[in-house]
């Protein structure tokens, strides 16, 4: 007798759930420290990230331009946006009354 698709699906779900339970409940337990000491990178990537972050900390911006008379003299050129009517629901559909065989 050939097993049905429903039976095969149920067996596959049970196997997947069993594997997930085994992974989560019987997996390696890490009892190590979660918090690391400040300034002690634990990997090369973390050390590189900390180096780049320290370089960015020294970046400053000169905001004196916002007090410059030329900046203060700028005018807002606001353009009103005119609303357009909504187009067809499906712009790629065939047009009614137009033959598609040309």
Model confidence pLDDT, tens digit, residues 39-88: 577 788 888 888 888 888 888 888 998 999 999 999 989 889 899 888 88
Lowest mean pLDDT among 8-12, 19-23, 32-36: 32-36
Report how far residue 48's alpha carbon sits from residue 46's, in angstroms, rounded to the nearest whole number: 5
Torsion of CA 72, 74, 80, 86, to 10 degrees: -90
Q: What is residue 69's predicted lDDT score, i.e. its pLDDT? A: 93
Q: What is the pLDDT of residue 57?
A: 81
Average pLDDT of the chain is 83
pTM over 0.95: no
Q: Report the alpha-carbon distance of residue 79 to residue 81 in Å, rounded.
A: 6
| Structure confidence at residue 60 (pLDDT) | 86
Helices (H) and strands (E) in the chain, counts: 3, 0
More confident residue, 59 or 15: 15
Spatial distance between the Cα atoms of 90 and 93, rounded to a whole number of angstroms: 6
């Amino acid at each position: 007798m050939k097993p049905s698709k429903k039976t095969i699906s149920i067996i596959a779900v049970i196997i997947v759930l069993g594997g997930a339970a085994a992974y989560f409940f019987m997996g390696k337990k890490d009892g190590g420290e979660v918090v690391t000491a400040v300034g002690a990178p634990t990997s090369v990537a973390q050390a590189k990230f900390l180096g780049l972050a320290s370089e960015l900390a020294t970046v400053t911006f000169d905001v004196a331009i916002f007090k410059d008379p030329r900046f203060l003299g700028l005018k807002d050129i606001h353009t009103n946006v005119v609303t357009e009517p909504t187009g067809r629901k499906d712009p790629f559909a065939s047009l009614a009354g137009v033959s598609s065989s040309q």
